[in-house]
Amino acid sequence: MTTATPSAPAAPTNRLGLTKQDYVGSKSTLCAGCGHDSITAQLINAAFEMNIEAYKVGKYSGIGCSSKTPAYFFNQAWGFNSVHGRMPSVATGAALANRELVNIGVSGDGDSMSIGIGQLMHMIRRNVPIIYIIEDNGVYGLTKGQFSATADLGSVLKHGTVNELPPIDPCTLALELGCGFVARSFSGDPKQMNAIMKAAMAHNGTCIIDVISPCVTFNNHDSSTKSYKNAKDHDFPLHELGFVQFNELEQVEIPAGESKVVTFPDGSKVSFRTLRDDYDPTDRFGAMKILHEGAEKGEFLTGLLYVDTSKPNIHATTHIVDTPLVHLNQATLKPGKDVLAKCMDELM
C-alpha cells in the first residue's frame, strides 16, 4: 500500500500553496505490493508538481482493483466509480457538462480491453479530454485472477492454465484510432511515469497511458509476462522524457541536440532524448512500426509513443459554447415565449 507520506510541519507547497498531503486520498485497500498503488503515488506527485486544482478534477473509473484507486488520491476531487467497462461514457457526459473539469480515468485491462473496449474506442475517436490510465496486469484481479485480453500468448496463470489467445495491445489500438497522446510505462519506473503523467496533464484531448502494473496476488510468478521480473527484464524505454511546465520554462532549459521537443497548447514542453534509433514521437506510422516490431521481440517499449497536440477535441466537434454548460443560467437555457409561439405557428 502506498499513499503519499504524511506532510511534516514545513512540508513544501506548490504554486497553489498546497502540500502533497492535499492531493492524497483515502487509505488504499489493495494488496501490499500491488502495482496499482505505485501509479496512484505518481498521480499524486504529478498533480502536486503540475499545480492541479484538485477540486476541478473529475475522477472516474469502472470496476476492478484498478478502478478502486480513484478513492486513494485527490480527496478534494469529485469521484465517480461507475460500472464495469463503461466509464468512458460517464466521463464523456461530465466533460461535456463542464468543460473546465480536469478528467482523470483509471481503468484495468479487463475493464478497458474486454467489456469496455467499445466505449474506450469511441471515447478516443471523439477525443474526450481525459487522462485515461489502464493499470495493466494481464488478469482480472478483483474476480481472482482470470486471464484478461492483454495477457500474452503462452503466458501461464498461477494454477497452470496457459493463455492460447493473442493479446490486444491498448497502445497499438489507440494509435490506430488516431489518439493524440499514447504512452506506455511500468509501475516500477516512477520517474518515467511521472514525466508521462505531467505531459498528459498538459494535453487537451484523450491520453491513453498503458501502465504495466503487476498483480502480486494472481500474476507475479516467473512464467507471467506481466510480473515485476519480466517487466523489468523486458522494459525498453524509447527515450528519456523531460517535461517542463509552461510557467517553469524560464528557469529550465530544454536540452537541445539530439532531443526532440513537442509543445502543448498551454505552452508546456516535453523533450525526448532518443535512446533507440531515431525514434520520433510525432510520427504515427513510425510508432506503429516500432510497436509491432517490439511485440515480435517480446519487448515492452515504454515512453511517450505518440503525441499530436493539434487534433480537435469533443468540445470543438460538438460546437458548444465556451462557458461550461453547467454555468449557463435559465435565461440562456430556456427560450422565450416568442419562440414557442413561432414553433406553434409553424404547426398550424
Partner 1 sequence: MSTELANAHAAQDAKTLVNDFSIEIGTVNGSGSQTANSVLMRTIFLMGVPVSGKNLFPSNIAGLPTWFQIRANTKGYVARKHRVDLMICMNPETAKEDVLKLSDGAIVIYDEPLKLNTLRDDLIYYPVPFQKLVTASCPEPKLHKLVKNMIYVGVAGQMLGLDMIETKKAITKQLKGKQKAIEINQAAVDAGFAWAAENMPAQSRIKVVADDKTKGNIIIDGNAACALGAMFAGVQVVGWYPITPSSSLVESLIDYADEYRRDEDGKSTVAIVQMEDELASAGMVFGAGWAGARSMTSTSGPGISLMSEFIGLGYFSEIPGVFFNVARTGPSTGLPTRTMQGDIDICAKCSHGDTLHINLYPGNMTECFEFAYESFNLAERFQTPIFVVTDLDLGMQNWMSKPFTYPEGNFDRGKVLGEKELADMKDWGRYKDVDGDGIPYRTLPATPGGKGAYFTRGSGHNAMAQYSEKPEDYVALVDRLRAKYETAKSYVPKPILDDTGSKRGILAFGSSDPAVMEARDVLVDSFQKKTDYLRLRALPFTAEVDAFIKNSDVVYVVEQNRDGQMKALLREFYPQASMKFKSVLHYNGMALDAQTIVDQINAFEK
Ligand X SMILES: Cc1ncc(C[n+]2csc(CCOP(=O)(O)OP(=O)(O)O)c2C)c(N)n1
Binding site for Mg ion (CB under 5 A): 108-110, 137
Task: Indicate which of partner 1, ligand X, Mg ion, none lies near residue 86 (CB less than 5 to 8 Å, by partner kind).
Answer: partner 1
Residue 250: Cβ within 10 Å count: 8
User: Strand, helix or coil at 105?
Assistant: strand
The residue (of 59 and 198) whose beta carbon lies closer to ligand SF4 is 59
Q: For residue 161, how far is the Cα from the chain centroid?
A: 30
Quick check: 58 binds partner 1 (CB under 8 A)?
yes
With CA atoms as reference, report the closest residue to 34 among 65, 73, 70: 65
Task: Indicate which of partner 1, ligand X, ligand SF4, none lies near residue 31 (CB less than 5 to 8 Å, by partner kind).
Answer: ligand SF4
With CA atoms as reference, report the closest residue to 173 among 305, 275, 83: 305
Quick check: 140 binds ligand X (CB under 6 A)?
yes
The owner of cell 462557458 is 323
Calpha distance 278→273 (Å, rounded): 10
Judged by CB under 6 A, the residue of 3, 38, 66, 206 near ligand X is 66
- Contacting ligand X within 118-137 (CB under 6 A): 135, 137
Strands 239-244 and 235-237, by their bridges, are unpaired
Quick check: 142 binds ligand X (CB under 6 A)?
yes
Calpha distance 32→273 (Å, rounded): 34
Q: For residue 9, how far is the Cα from the chain centroid?
A: 32
* CA geometry: angle 114, 287, 170, nearest 5 deg: 10
Judged by CB under 6 A, the residue of 39, 63, 128, 270 near ligand X is 63
The residue (of 91 and 139) whose beta carbon lies closer to partner 1 is 91
Quick check: 62 binds ligand SF4 (CB under 6 A)?
no
Quick check: 65 binds partner 1 (CB under 8 A)?
no
Residue pair 221/138 in contact (Cβ under 8 Å)? The answer is no
Residues that bind ligand X (CB under 6 A): 63-66, 84, 108-111, 135, 137, 139-143, 148
Residues forming the site for partner 1 (CB under 8 A)? 55-56, 58, 60, 70-71, 75-83, 86-98, 100-101, 118-119, 121-122, 126, 314, 318-322, 325-326, 328, 330, 332-335, 337, 339-340, 343-344, 347-348
